Structure 1
Amino acid sequence: MNISIKKMTLVSIFTSLTVMGTFISLPIGPVPITLQSLFVILSGIILGSKLGALSQIVYLSLGLIGLPIFSNFTGGPQAVMMPSFGFIIGFIFSSYIVGLITHSKDTLSRKRIILASLVGTITIYIFGLPYMYYILNIIMEQGLSFGNIFRIGALLFLPGDIAKLLVVSFVSIKLLKVLNKANISLE
């Protein structure tokens, strides 16, 4: 993949936005409510599949090398033992899939962006919930049912996720128009 300075800059911006989304946090249990997923989905829509995923790979890598950019100001290799780490892994795949769906046709539509955002959100849960189950039950031996895991890892977040989908659908259309006017092509 040949990456220009402009694309590297945009990847860095979305990595930074994901970091900032971590710190806008409401701790409610093993997984805090943050704005990360909003920026993850937006990265796929704006940057496309490969660059969006790259922005999340950079985020994950920076956290694993020790920068305290994961929830609760954590970082380092021990972060893989956090119940929320599976969601971070899901960020990479979510951004990639959102980019694929969003840019699958020549013209963009709000309907396709909402669909891509919904699929991206589900993708984060597909990675996050089983990982959370594994850490809480196998490693920490808490003996929680999958229903309890679903309640504390997904159900509490659904209203916020719906709000994020609406915000993303409005913001992304405007951002893409601005990028098109500036003749910035990313895909």
Structure 2
Amino acid sequence: MKNSSTVSLAAVALFAALTAVGAFIKIPLPYVPFTLQVLFVFLAGSLLGSKRGMQSQLVYVGMGLAGVPVFTNGAGFGYVMQPTFGYLIGFIAGAFVVGFIIERIANPKIHHFIIANFAGLLVVYLFGVPYLYMALNTWMGVPSSWTHILMIGFVYSIAGDIFISLIAGVLAKRLYKEFHKNRANNKISLQKDTSCN
């Protein structure tokens, strides 16, 4: 049981770390830089499942809010005032949604992973874009129309994110069996340990 829990925690920590790395692989854009974070968000959901995938993003966001410099533009609890914080909330929900969809398919194919990623991407934007609008128009004092917000928070990055969703789908398909083989082995080990006791 301890072995299974350790492996799960390690996987959660790994994807939290990978999301942090993705934050620094970026293309600077106004207010919302384009990063590789969603690649690891989608892989976390696909390979770890809804709960563990979501936990990996909770760990990532929690680390950043605690002051560890893992966000694109700094760290600390004050980061909730950043216009991009809504996307971070979206990562948590998006990983859950991707995992939730894949968990309900017995033998997922590449197109299943891609569809799940598109659903996760929609969730990320549903959190990110309204938060960007609220941040700019209220506490940041930058009056912005919805047209402007949609341009900087959606249009500039959607093509890249769709491409990443496709790449994540291909990678997830290739890695899925390995991850689930390890899970199955851990379950067998757990059952043996239980029967010995």
TM-score (norm 1): 0.94
Please tell me whether Structure 1 or Structure 2 has the larger radius of gyration of its CA atoms: 2
Deviations along 1:108-131, one digit per CA (max 9) or x if unpaired, are: 122211111000001000000110
Q: What does 1:151-166 correspond to in 2, within 5 Å? A: 151-166=151-166
> Offset at 1:18?
0.2
Q: What does 1:1-187 correspond to in 2, within 5 Å? A: 4-72=5-73, 74-180=74-180, 182-185=181-184
Letter in 2 for 1:47: L
Partner SS, residue 183 of structure 2: coil
CA distance in 2, matches of 1:112, 1:171: 12
Partner SS, residue 139 of structure 1: coil
> Offset at 1:141?
1.9
Give aligned pairs, total: 184
Letter in 2 for 1:40: V
TM-score (norm 2): 0.89
CA distance in 2, matches of 1:165, 1:94: 12
| Higher mean C-alpha deviation, range 128-137 or range 107-116 | 107-116
CA distance in 2, matches of 1:15, 1:183: 20
Instruction: Give the structure 1 partner of residue 192 of structure 2.
Output: none
> Offset at 1:78?
0.7
CA distance in 1, matches of 2:69, 2:182: 36
Higher-helix-fraction structure:
2
| Higher mean C-alpha deviation, range 104-113 or range 151-160 | 104-113
> Offset at 1:161?
0.8
> Offset at 1:23?
0.8
> Offset at 1:143?
1.2
CA distance in 2, matches of 1:104, 1:147: 37
Aligned-residue identity in percent? 38
> Offset at 1:132?
0.5
Unaligned residue ranges in structure 1 (runs of 5+): none
CA distance in 2, matches of 1:170, 1:104: 19
CA distance in 2, matches of 1:123, 1:103: 18
* Alpha-carbon RMSD: 1.7
Unaligned residue ranges in structure 2 (runs of 5+): 187-197
Query: After TM superposition, what 4+ stretches of structure 1 lie above 6 angstroms from structure 2?
Result: none
Deviations along 1:34-85, one digit per CA (max 9) or x if unpaired, are: 000111011000000000000000001000011111112x000110010000
> Offset at 1:29?
1.1
CA distance in 2, matches of 1:183, 1:67: 31
